[in-house]
Protein backbone atom coordinates (compact mmCIF):
# COMPACT_ATOMS: atom_id res chain seq x y z
CA UNK A 1 0.00 0.00 0.00
CA UNK A 2 1.70 3.16 -1.21
CA UNK A 3 1.35 6.17 1.10
CA UNK A 4 1.47 9.82 0.11
CA UNK A 5 4.05 10.47 2.82
CA UNK A 6 7.38 9.11 4.01
CA UNK A 7 7.09 9.20 7.81
CA UNK A 8 5.38 6.12 9.25
CA UNK A 9 2.45 5.95 11.69
CA UNK A 10 2.35 3.56 14.65
CA UNK A 11 -1.10 2.90 16.13
CA UNK A 12 -1.60 1.17 19.49
CA UNK A 13 -4.39 -1.39 19.66
CA UNK A 14 -6.72 -1.75 22.61
CA UNK A 15 -10.40 -1.93 23.61
CA UNK A 16 -11.34 0.71 21.02
CA UNK A 17 -9.55 -1.11 18.21
CA UNK A 18 -9.66 -4.85 18.66
CA UNK A 19 -11.86 -6.16 15.84
CA UNK A 20 -11.18 -6.78 12.16
CA UNK A 21 -13.28 -3.89 10.86
CA UNK A 22 -11.56 -1.27 13.02
CA UNK A 23 -8.01 -2.59 12.55
CA UNK A 24 -8.44 -2.70 8.79
CA UNK A 25 -9.91 0.82 8.83
CA UNK A 26 -6.92 2.07 10.84
CA UNK A 27 -4.51 0.50 8.35
CA UNK A 28 -6.34 2.00 5.38
CA UNK A 29 -6.44 5.39 7.14
CA UNK A 30 -2.65 5.33 7.47
CA UNK A 31 -1.37 3.01 10.21
CA UNK A 32 1.78 1.26 8.99
CA UNK A 33 2.71 -0.40 12.29
CA UNK A 34 0.47 -1.76 15.05
CA UNK A 35 1.64 -1.69 18.66
CA UNK A 36 0.57 -4.39 21.10
CA UNK A 37 0.89 -2.96 24.61
CA UNK A 38 1.83 -5.82 26.95
CA UNK A 39 0.86 -3.69 29.96
CA UNK A 40 -2.79 -4.17 29.01
CA UNK A 41 -4.56 -7.32 27.89
CA UNK A 42 -3.80 -10.96 28.56
CA UNK A 43 -2.11 -13.36 26.17
CA UNK A 44 -5.40 -14.53 24.70
CA UNK A 45 -6.38 -10.95 23.76
CA UNK A 46 -2.93 -10.21 22.35
CA UNK A 47 -3.06 -13.37 20.23
CA UNK A 48 -6.43 -12.42 18.75
CA UNK A 49 -5.20 -8.94 17.82
CA UNK A 50 -2.07 -10.42 16.24
CA UNK A 51 -4.17 -12.83 14.16
CA UNK A 52 -6.46 -10.02 12.99
CA UNK A 53 -3.49 -7.90 11.89
CA UNK A 54 -2.09 -10.78 9.86
CA UNK A 55 -5.52 -11.33 8.29
CA UNK A 56 -5.72 -7.65 7.34
CA UNK A 57 -2.23 -7.94 5.89
CA UNK A 58 -3.28 -10.91 3.78
CA UNK A 59 -6.54 -9.35 2.64
CA UNK A 60 -5.00 -6.01 1.66
CA UNK A 61 -1.81 -7.46 0.20
CA UNK A 62 0.11 -4.87 2.19
CA UNK A 63 2.86 -5.85 4.68
CA UNK A 64 2.24 -4.65 8.25
CA UNK A 65 4.76 -4.44 11.06
CA UNK A 66 3.77 -5.53 14.57
CA UNK A 67 5.49 -4.02 17.62
CA UNK A 68 5.11 -5.71 21.02
CA UNK A 69 5.82 -3.22 23.82
CA UNK A 70 7.04 -4.95 26.99
CA UNK A 71 5.86 -3.45 30.29
CA UNK A 72 9.16 -3.36 32.18
CA UNK A 73 9.49 -3.20 35.98
CA UNK A 74 6.80 -1.15 37.68
CA UNK A 75 7.89 0.68 40.85
CA UNK A 76 4.96 1.52 43.11
CA UNK A 77 4.29 2.41 46.75
CA UNK A 78 2.15 0.10 48.90
CA UNK A 79 -1.34 0.72 50.27
CA UNK A 80 -2.65 3.17 52.86
CA UNK A 81 -4.91 2.69 55.84
CA UNK A 82 -7.16 5.39 54.40
CA UNK A 83 -8.80 4.53 51.08
CA UNK A 84 -8.29 8.13 49.96
CA UNK A 85 -4.59 8.11 50.78
CA UNK A 86 -2.87 11.00 52.56
CA UNK A 87 -2.24 14.66 51.79
CA UNK A 88 1.45 15.52 52.03
CA UNK A 89 2.55 19.08 52.82
CA UNK A 90 5.65 20.95 51.68
CA UNK A 91 8.48 20.63 54.20
CA UNK A 92 7.09 17.68 56.13
CA UNK A 93 9.04 14.47 56.68
CA UNK A 94 7.86 11.28 55.03
CA UNK A 95 9.41 7.81 55.24
CA UNK A 96 9.50 5.05 52.64
CA UNK A 97 10.33 1.59 53.95
CA UNK A 98 9.92 -2.15 53.43
CA UNK A 99 7.29 -2.57 56.19
CA UNK A 100 4.06 -3.89 54.66
CA UNK A 101 1.87 -2.26 57.32
CA UNK A 102 -0.75 0.13 55.82
CA UNK A 103 0.59 3.61 55.12
CA UNK A 104 -0.08 6.72 57.19
CA UNK A 105 0.56 10.44 56.84
CA UNK A 106 4.14 9.78 57.95
CA UNK A 107 5.17 6.67 55.98
CA UNK A 108 4.30 4.02 53.42
CA UNK A 109 5.82 0.83 52.08
CA UNK A 110 8.06 0.93 49.00
CA UNK A 111 8.40 -2.80 48.22
CA UNK A 112 11.54 -2.50 46.11
CA UNK A 113 14.71 -3.28 48.04
CA UNK A 114 16.77 -2.40 44.97
CA UNK A 115 15.78 1.25 45.29
CA UNK A 116 17.08 1.49 48.86
CA UNK A 117 20.33 -0.19 47.79
CA UNK A 118 20.91 2.56 45.23
CA UNK A 119 19.66 5.67 47.07
CA UNK A 120 21.94 8.29 48.53
CA UNK A 121 21.14 11.44 50.54
CA UNK A 122 20.16 14.23 48.16
CA UNK A 123 18.53 11.90 45.62
CA UNK A 124 14.97 12.70 44.50
CA UNK A 125 11.92 10.49 44.29
CA UNK A 126 8.94 11.36 42.09
CA UNK A 127 5.52 9.92 42.92
CA UNK A 128 2.40 9.75 40.75
CA UNK A 129 3.99 10.97 37.49
CA UNK A 130 5.97 13.64 39.32
CA UNK A 131 3.00 15.27 41.01
CA UNK A 132 4.76 14.68 44.35
CA UNK A 133 8.49 15.30 44.74
CA UNK A 134 10.56 14.00 47.66
CA UNK A 135 14.22 14.57 48.56
CA UNK A 136 16.12 11.91 50.49
CA UNK A 137 17.60 13.23 53.76
CA UNK A 138 18.77 9.92 55.19
CA UNK A 139 18.57 6.33 53.98
CA UNK A 140 19.57 2.77 54.74
CA UNK A 141 19.09 -0.77 53.47
CA UNK A 142 15.37 -0.72 54.31
CA UNK A 143 14.27 2.92 54.60
CA UNK A 144 14.51 6.42 53.16
CA UNK A 145 13.62 9.47 55.23
CA UNK A 146 12.50 12.21 52.85
CA UNK A 147 11.47 15.85 52.81
CA UNK A 148 8.42 16.80 50.76
CA UNK A 149 9.41 19.36 48.14
CA UNK A 150 6.22 19.30 46.06
CA UNK A 151 3.00 18.52 47.91
CA UNK A 152 0.03 16.42 46.84
CA UNK A 153 -2.12 13.43 47.63
CA UNK A 154 -0.35 10.09 47.78
CA UNK A 155 -2.58 7.02 47.53
CA UNK A 156 -2.51 3.28 46.90
CA UNK A 157 0.08 1.87 44.49
CA UNK A 158 1.08 5.14 42.87
CA UNK A 159 4.12 4.90 40.62
CA UNK A 160 7.58 5.97 41.74
CA UNK A 161 10.36 7.35 39.55
CA UNK A 162 13.98 7.60 40.68
CA UNK A 163 15.68 9.94 38.21
CA UNK A 164 19.02 10.54 39.94
CA UNK A 165 20.46 7.02 40.12
CA UNK A 166 20.94 3.96 37.96
CA UNK A 167 18.84 1.31 39.67
CA UNK A 168 20.19 -2.24 40.05
CA UNK A 169 17.11 -3.58 38.28
CA UNK A 170 16.98 -5.61 35.09
CA UNK A 171 14.91 -4.12 32.29
CA UNK A 172 13.04 -7.44 32.00
CA UNK A 173 10.78 -8.52 34.86
CA UNK A 174 9.55 -12.08 35.18
CA UNK A 175 6.34 -10.99 33.44
CA UNK A 176 8.38 -9.44 30.63
CA UNK A 177 10.30 -12.68 30.09
CA UNK A 178 7.08 -14.64 29.74
CA UNK A 179 5.60 -11.97 27.46
CA UNK A 180 8.75 -11.88 25.34
CA UNK A 181 8.67 -15.61 24.72
CA UNK A 182 4.95 -15.50 23.96
CA UNK A 183 5.08 -12.68 21.40
CA UNK A 184 8.22 -14.04 19.74
CA UNK A 185 6.43 -17.35 19.27
CA UNK A 186 3.46 -15.44 17.84
CA UNK A 187 5.74 -13.83 15.28
CA UNK A 188 5.90 -10.12 16.11
CA UNK A 189 8.44 -8.06 14.18
CA UNK A 190 9.68 -5.66 16.85
CA UNK A 191 10.15 -5.85 20.63
CA UNK A 192 10.03 -2.50 22.47
CA UNK A 193 12.11 -2.76 25.62
CA UNK A 194 11.07 -0.59 28.59
CA UNK A 195 13.21 0.63 31.51
CA UNK A 196 16.45 0.54 29.51
CA UNK A 197 19.32 2.00 31.54
CA UNK A 198 22.40 0.39 30.00
CA UNK A 199 23.47 -1.59 26.90
CA UNK A 200 23.43 -4.82 28.91
CA UNK A 201 19.63 -4.51 29.17
CA UNK A 202 19.38 -4.68 25.37
CA UNK A 203 21.86 -7.54 25.18
CA UNK A 204 19.72 -9.59 27.56
CA UNK A 205 16.58 -9.07 25.47
CA UNK A 206 18.45 -9.96 22.28
CA UNK A 207 19.74 -13.16 23.83
CA UNK A 208 16.23 -14.19 24.87
CA UNK A 209 14.63 -13.25 21.55
CA UNK A 210 17.13 -15.41 19.60
CA UNK A 211 16.75 -13.33 16.45
CA UNK A 212 13.00 -13.80 16.25
CA UNK A 213 12.30 -10.05 16.53
CA UNK A 214 14.23 -6.80 16.19
CA UNK A 215 14.96 -4.92 19.43
CA UNK A 216 13.75 -1.35 19.88
CA UNK A 217 15.00 0.44 23.01
CA UNK A 218 12.68 2.91 24.73
CA UNK A 219 14.54 5.97 25.97
CA UNK A 220 12.58 7.02 29.03
CA UNK A 221 15.20 7.39 31.79
CA UNK A 222 18.03 9.91 32.30
CA UNK A 223 20.51 7.03 32.55
CA UNK A 224 19.51 5.93 29.03
CA UNK A 225 20.08 9.44 27.69
CA UNK A 226 23.57 9.51 29.24
CA UNK A 227 24.42 6.09 27.78
CA UNK A 228 22.55 6.64 24.54
CA UNK A 229 25.41 6.12 22.11
CA UNK A 230 26.22 2.73 23.61
CA UNK A 231 22.54 1.73 23.76
CA UNK A 232 22.01 2.77 20.13
CA UNK A 233 24.98 0.67 19.05
CA UNK A 234 23.37 -2.55 20.34
CA UNK A 235 19.75 -1.69 19.39
CA UNK A 236 17.92 -2.14 16.08
CA UNK A 237 15.75 0.92 16.67
CA UNK A 238 14.83 3.55 19.25
CA UNK A 239 11.64 4.97 20.76
CA UNK A 240 11.79 8.44 22.31
CA UNK A 241 9.28 7.77 25.11
CA UNK A 242 8.61 11.32 26.17
CA UNK A 243 6.10 10.49 28.91
CA UNK A 244 8.45 9.05 31.53
CA UNK A 245 11.34 11.10 30.16
CA UNK A 246 9.35 14.26 30.90
CA UNK A 247 8.69 13.05 34.45
CA UNK A 248 12.28 12.20 35.30
CA UNK A 249 13.85 15.22 33.58
CA UNK A 250 12.83 18.89 33.56
CA UNK A 251 10.22 19.18 30.81
CA UNK A 252 12.23 21.86 29.01
CA UNK A 253 15.03 19.32 28.49
CA UNK A 254 12.88 16.93 26.46
CA UNK A 255 12.61 18.84 23.11
CA UNK A 256 16.39 19.20 22.59
CA UNK A 257 16.93 15.59 23.69
CA UNK A 258 14.31 14.48 21.16
CA UNK A 259 16.08 16.36 18.39
CA UNK A 260 19.51 15.01 19.36
CA UNK A 261 18.34 11.39 19.55
CA UNK A 262 16.60 11.59 16.17
CA UNK A 263 19.78 12.94 14.56
CA UNK A 264 21.90 10.17 16.08
CA UNK A 265 19.47 7.44 15.02
CA UNK A 266 19.39 8.73 11.47
CA UNK A 267 23.21 8.89 11.31
CA UNK A 268 23.31 5.27 12.48
CA UNK A 269 20.67 4.24 9.89
CA UNK A 270 18.37 2.92 12.62
CA UNK A 271 14.65 3.77 12.79
CA UNK A 272 13.37 6.04 15.54
CA UNK A 273 9.81 6.55 16.83
CA UNK A 274 8.62 9.69 18.62
CA UNK A 275 5.93 8.69 21.12
CA UNK A 276 3.61 9.81 23.91
CA UNK A 277 0.89 12.45 24.08
CA UNK A 278 1.09 13.38 20.40
CA UNK A 279 -2.67 13.83 19.91
CA UNK A 280 -3.86 13.16 23.45
CA UNK A 281 -6.90 15.44 23.29
CA UNK A 282 -8.27 13.19 20.52
CA UNK A 283 -8.95 10.51 23.13
CA UNK A 284 -12.14 12.46 23.77
CA UNK A 285 -12.33 14.97 20.93
CA UNK A 286 -12.58 14.50 17.15
CA UNK A 287 -10.27 17.50 16.69
CA UNK A 288 -6.73 17.93 18.04
CA UNK A 289 -5.37 21.08 19.63
CA UNK A 290 -3.18 23.37 17.56
CA UNK A 291 -0.30 22.64 19.93
CA UNK A 292 -0.63 18.89 19.32
CA UNK A 293 -0.60 19.36 15.55
CA UNK A 294 2.52 21.49 15.94
CA UNK A 295 4.13 18.77 18.09
CA UNK A 296 3.49 16.11 15.44
CA UNK A 297 4.79 18.43 12.73
CA UNK A 298 7.94 19.22 14.70
CA UNK A 299 8.83 15.52 14.99
CA UNK A 300 8.36 15.13 11.23
CA UNK A 301 10.48 18.21 10.46
CA UNK A 302 13.20 16.73 12.69
CA UNK A 303 13.34 13.66 10.46
CA UNK A 304 11.85 10.96 12.66
CA UNK A 305 11.04 7.65 11.01
CA UNK A 306 7.70 7.23 12.78
CA UNK A 307 5.17 8.98 15.00
CA UNK A 308 3.02 7.04 17.44
CA UNK A 309 -0.51 7.05 18.82
CA UNK A 310 -1.08 5.47 22.23
CA UNK A 311 -4.42 5.80 24.04
CA UNK A 312 -5.76 7.85 21.10
CA UNK A 313 -6.13 4.68 19.00
CA UNK A 314 -6.22 2.09 21.81
CA UNK A 315 -8.94 3.46 24.06
CA UNK A 316 -10.11 6.75 22.55
CA UNK A 317 -13.45 7.66 21.04
CA UNK A 318 -11.96 8.67 17.67
CA UNK A 319 -9.19 6.22 16.66
CA UNK A 320 -9.69 6.54 12.89
CA UNK A 321 -9.82 10.33 13.11
CA UNK A 322 -6.56 10.32 15.09
CA UNK A 323 -4.75 8.25 12.44
CA UNK A 324 -6.25 10.39 9.67
CA UNK A 325 -5.10 13.57 11.42
CA UNK A 326 -1.54 12.25 11.72
CA UNK A 327 -1.58 11.24 8.07
CA UNK A 328 -2.85 14.65 6.95
CA UNK A 329 -0.29 16.54 9.03
CA UNK A 330 2.50 14.38 7.60
CA UNK A 331 1.38 14.92 4.00
CA UNK A 332 1.19 18.68 4.51
CA UNK A 333 4.56 18.97 6.27
CA UNK A 334 6.38 16.86 3.68
CA UNK A 335 4.97 19.05 0.89
CA UNK A 336 6.57 22.12 2.50
CA UNK A 337 9.84 23.11 0.73
CA UNK A 338 11.22 24.00 4.17
CA UNK A 339 10.90 20.34 5.16
CA UNK A 340 13.12 19.27 2.27
CA UNK A 341 15.66 21.97 3.14
CA UNK A 342 15.82 20.85 6.78
CA UNK A 343 16.07 17.15 5.96
CA UNK A 344 18.81 17.63 3.39
CA UNK A 345 20.78 20.02 5.62
CA UNK A 346 20.79 17.39 8.38
CA UNK A 347 21.89 14.50 6.19
CA UNK A 348 24.70 12.47 7.77
CA UNK A 349 26.59 9.47 6.48
CA UNK A 350 29.54 7.43 7.66
CA UNK A 351 31.07 7.64 4.17
CA UNK A 352 33.39 4.75 4.94
CA UNK A 353 31.75 1.80 3.21
CA UNK A 354 30.98 0.79 -0.35
CA UNK A 355 27.33 0.30 0.60
CA UNK A 356 27.06 3.88 1.93
CA UNK A 357 28.64 5.19 -1.25
CA UNK A 358 26.28 3.20 -3.48
CA UNK A 359 23.10 4.42 -1.77
CA UNK A 360 24.38 8.01 -1.71
CA UNK A 361 25.08 7.76 -5.44
CA UNK A 362 21.60 6.28 -6.01
CA UNK A 363 20.04 9.29 -4.29
CA UNK A 364 22.16 11.76 -6.26
CA UNK A 365 21.26 10.12 -9.57
CA UNK A 366 17.57 9.89 -8.68
CA UNK A 367 17.41 13.57 -7.75
CA UNK A 368 19.49 14.77 -10.70
CA UNK A 369 17.84 12.79 -13.49
CA UNK A 370 14.17 12.08 -14.14
CA UNK A 371 14.06 8.97 -11.93
CA UNK A 372 10.80 7.81 -10.34
CA UNK A 373 12.11 5.58 -7.55
CA UNK A 374 15.10 3.95 -5.89
CA UNK A 375 14.55 0.19 -5.82
CA UNK A 376 16.74 -1.75 -3.41
CA UNK A 377 16.87 -5.51 -3.26
CA UNK A 378 17.70 -6.13 0.37
CA UNK A 379 17.51 -9.62 1.81
CA UNK A 380 18.69 -8.59 5.28
CA UNK A 381 17.42 -4.99 5.23
CA UNK A 382 20.82 -3.28 5.41
CA UNK A 383 20.58 -1.67 1.97
CA UNK A 384 17.08 -0.41 2.68
CA UNK A 385 18.12 1.15 6.01
CA UNK A 386 21.05 2.95 4.39
CA UNK A 387 18.79 4.21 1.59
CA UNK A 388 16.22 5.40 4.10
CA UNK A 389 18.94 7.30 5.95
CA UNK A 390 19.60 9.30 2.78
CA UNK A 391 16.00 10.63 2.87
CA UNK A 392 15.78 10.82 -0.97
CA UNK A 393 13.18 12.97 -2.71
CA UNK A 394 11.86 9.96 -4.65
CA UNK A 395 10.10 6.88 -3.24
CA UNK A 396 12.10 3.93 -1.91
CA UNK A 397 10.87 0.51 -3.03
CA UNK A 398 12.27 -2.30 -0.92
CA UNK A 399 12.22 -5.84 -2.29
CA UNK A 400 13.06 -8.97 -0.35
CA UNK A 401 11.98 -12.58 -0.42
CA UNK A 402 12.32 -12.60 3.39
CA UNK A 403 8.91 -11.76 4.84
CA UNK A 404 10.39 -10.86 8.23
CA UNK A 405 12.70 -8.30 6.63
CA UNK A 406 9.83 -6.74 4.69
CA UNK A 407 7.66 -6.40 7.78
CA UNK A 408 10.39 -4.90 9.95
CA UNK A 409 11.22 -2.32 7.30
CA UNK A 410 7.64 -1.03 7.35
CA UNK A 411 8.82 1.07 10.31
CA UNK A 412 11.54 2.87 8.32
CA UNK A 413 11.11 6.28 6.68
CA UNK A 414 10.03 6.33 3.05
CA UNK A 415 9.90 2.60 2.41
CA UNK A 416 7.28 0.93 0.24
CA UNK A 417 7.89 -2.74 1.00
CA UNK A 418 7.20 -5.48 -1.54
CA UNK A 419 7.77 -9.19 -1.03
CA UNK A 420 9.75 -10.68 -3.89
CA UNK A 421 8.14 -13.76 -5.42
CA UNK A 422 11.40 -15.69 -5.27
CA UNK A 423 14.92 -15.60 -3.89
CA UNK A 424 17.05 -13.61 -6.35
CA UNK A 425 20.49 -14.90 -7.29
CA UNK A 426 21.23 -12.72 -10.36
CA UNK A 427 21.25 -8.95 -10.68
CA UNK A 428 19.20 -9.04 -13.89
CA UNK A 429 16.46 -10.90 -11.99
CA UNK A 430 16.62 -8.26 -9.24
CA UNK A 431 16.16 -5.51 -11.84
CA UNK A 432 13.13 -7.25 -13.34
CA UNK A 433 11.60 -7.73 -9.88
CA UNK A 434 12.25 -4.05 -9.14
CA UNK A 435 10.57 -2.66 -12.26
CA UNK A 436 7.60 -4.98 -11.79
CA UNK A 437 7.19 -3.67 -8.24
CA UNK A 438 7.56 -0.06 -9.36
CA UNK A 439 4.81 -0.38 -11.97
CA UNK A 440 2.55 -2.57 -9.83
CA UNK A 441 2.54 -0.01 -7.02
CA UNK A 442 1.83 2.82 -9.46
CA UNK A 443 5.03 4.62 -8.52
CA UNK A 444 6.37 4.34 -12.09
CA UNK A 445 5.01 3.72 -15.58
CA UNK A 446 6.44 1.70 -18.46
CA UNK A 447 8.13 4.74 -20.00
CA UNK A 448 9.85 5.75 -16.72
CA UNK A 449 13.28 4.98 -15.25
CA UNK A 450 14.27 3.69 -11.80
CA UNK A 451 17.55 3.20 -9.95
CA UNK A 452 18.19 -0.35 -8.75
CA UNK A 453 20.73 -1.24 -6.06
CA UNK A 454 21.73 -4.64 -4.71
CA UNK A 455 24.65 -6.62 -3.33
CA UNK A 456 26.59 -9.27 -5.20
CA UNK A 457 26.97 -12.01 -4.10
CA UNK A 458 23.28 -12.03 -3.19
CA UNK A 459 21.89 -12.79 0.28
CA UNK A 460 25.03 -11.47 2.01
CA UNK A 461 24.17 -8.75 4.58
CA UNK A 462 25.87 -5.41 3.97
CA UNK A 463 27.26 -6.33 0.54
CA UNK A 464 25.57 -3.53 -1.45
CA UNK A 465 27.99 -2.90 -4.30
CA UNK A 466 26.07 -2.48 -7.56
CA UNK A 467 23.78 0.19 -9.05
CA UNK A 468 21.89 0.39 -12.33
CA UNK A 469 19.57 2.92 -13.93
CA UNK A 470 16.91 0.79 -15.60
CA UNK A 471 13.91 1.43 -17.82
CA UNK A 472 10.57 0.18 -16.53
CA UNK A 473 9.91 -1.57 -19.84
CA UNK A 474 10.60 -5.20 -18.99
CA UNK A 475 11.06 -6.15 -22.64
CA UNK A 476 14.11 -3.88 -22.84
CA UNK A 477 15.68 -5.64 -19.85
CA UNK A 478 14.96 -9.10 -21.24
CA UNK A 479 16.42 -8.12 -24.60
CA UNK A 480 19.69 -7.02 -22.98
CA UNK A 481 22.84 -9.07 -22.61
CA UNK A 482 22.86 -11.90 -20.09
CA UNK A 483 24.52 -11.21 -16.72
Alpha-carbon span 12 to 26, nearest angstrom: 10
| Per-position b or e across 401-439, b if 16+ CB within 10 A of its CB | bbeebbbbbbbbbbbbbbbbeeebeebbbbbbbbbbbbb
Minimum mean pLDDT range among 19-33, 57-71, 135-149, 426-440: 426-440
Whether the per-residue pLDDT at 450 is higher than 90: the answer is yes
Whether the per-residue pLDDT at 348 is higher than 80: the answer is no
Which of the listed ranges 63-67, 428-432, 478-482 does the model predict with the highest average pLDDT? 63-67
Q: In terms of DSSP H, where are the helices of 373-450? A: 382-390, 403-408, 427-440
| Mean pLDDT across 55-67 | 97
Name the residue with higher pLDDT: 464 or 368: 368
Hey, which residues does 96 pair with through a beta bridge? 108, 144
Which residue numbers are catalytic?
35, 76, 218, 276
Model confidence at 481, in pLDDT bands (50, 70, 90)? very low
Burial of 458 (0-12, 13-18, 19+ CB in 10 A): middle
Structure confidence at residue 110 (pLDDT):
97
Structure confidence at residue 480 (pLDDT):
67
Domains of the chain: 8-72+170-335 (3.20.20.60), 86-161 (2.40.33.10), 354-478 (3.40.1380.20)
pLDDT in tens, 399-434: 998 999 999 999 999 999 999 877 777 888 889 999
Structure confidence at residue 482 (pLDDT):
42
Structure confidence at residue 351 (pLDDT):
64
Structure confidence at residue 350 (pLDDT):
65
Please give the model's pTM, rounded to 2 decimal places: 0.94
CB 299 within 8 A of CB 272: no
Model confidence at 483, in pLDDT bands (50, 70, 90)? very low
Alpha-carbon span 474 to 185, nearest angstrom: 40
pLDDT in tens, 88-114: 999 999 999 999 999 999 999 999 999
Structure confidence at residue 461 (pLDDT):
73
Amino acid sequence: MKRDRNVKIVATLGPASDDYKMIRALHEAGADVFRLNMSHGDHAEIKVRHEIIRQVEQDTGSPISILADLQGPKLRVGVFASEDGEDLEVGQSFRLDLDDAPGTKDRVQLPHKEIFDALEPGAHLLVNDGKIKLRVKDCGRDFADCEVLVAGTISNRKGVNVPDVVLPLAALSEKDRKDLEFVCDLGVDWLALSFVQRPADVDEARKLSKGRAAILSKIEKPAAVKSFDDILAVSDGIMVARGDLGVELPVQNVPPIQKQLIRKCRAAAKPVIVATQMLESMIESPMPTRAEVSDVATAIYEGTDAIMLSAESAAGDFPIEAVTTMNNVAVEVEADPTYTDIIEASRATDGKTVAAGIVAAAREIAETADIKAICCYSQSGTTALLTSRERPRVPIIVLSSDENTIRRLCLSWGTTCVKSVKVVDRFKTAVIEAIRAATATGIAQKQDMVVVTAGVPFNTPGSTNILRVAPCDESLILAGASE
